[in-house]
Amino acid sequence: MGLPAILLLAIALSLDTFAVALSISLCKGAYSCFQKYRYITVIALFHIVMPLIGWLAGASIHRIIADYDHWIVFTLLSHIGGKMIVEGFKANPDNTCPPSNRYLSLSGSFLFGFILSIDAVIAGFSCAMTRINIFPDHTQGFNMLIASLIIGSIAFLLTTIGFRTGHYAGKKIGQKSSIFGGVVLIVIAIKTLINHLLQ
């Protein structure tokens, strides 16, 4: 598995981080740059660490996670998305949306970091089953570390783009933008469940 394959894997693993960041940023509640970049950093760190865990743990953790990961993602994202939709319908001109900083708290960041990086554990296991050739003259451990750093960097980039996109989209969608954000989260949840059930 060379650099192009790792880049494609990183993008695939990070598409959901883009969509969730977009959903969160559609909420009108105020949040600071510190909260936003703390969230983005946590997401990136999870996407660095989780593939390494999958690579190191191998088949044992793969069997455990593969049976339950889709249900965990489906349940948590559906719950959060549902709350965003309900609160969006309750919105009024003075309180246009549930506060974004609820999702950007430290605990919220870690929750999303875990949810969105579960697939990265399985990707790490898959990397252990093949040879990574980013730097052919170096060890597999070094190559896996570089691959994880690439995955984390792409997650950081796409999450940042998601926030930026949601910020501008929210201005155009208006006061019900959190409903759209909630729908996005539920679509991701359903997609994850269907993909795993069809495998």
Q: Give 102-150 pLDDT, tens digit per residue.
A: 678 888 889 888 888 888 887 888 777 777 888 888 888 898 999 999 9
Lookup: tokens for 92 = 């009024």
Q: Cα separation of 78 and 183, whole Å?
A: 9
Provide φ and ψ at 106, rounded to 5°. Answer: -60, -45
pLDDT at residue number 156: 96
Which residues are bridge partners to 95 per DSSP? 92
pLDDT at residue number 86: 73
Q: Give 60-106 pLDDT, tens digit per residue.
A: 565 666 666 677 777 877 877 777 677 666 655 444 444 455 678 88
pTM above 0.85, yes or no: no
Lookup: tokens for 97 = 């949306």
Lookup: tokens for 188 = 């991701």
Residue in 139, 81, 141, 147 with CA at minimum distance from that of residue 112: 81
Q: Give 8-24 pLDDT, tens digit per residue.
A: 888 888 888 888 888 88
Question: Residue 34, CB half-sphere, CA atoms under 13 Å: how many?
Answer: 2
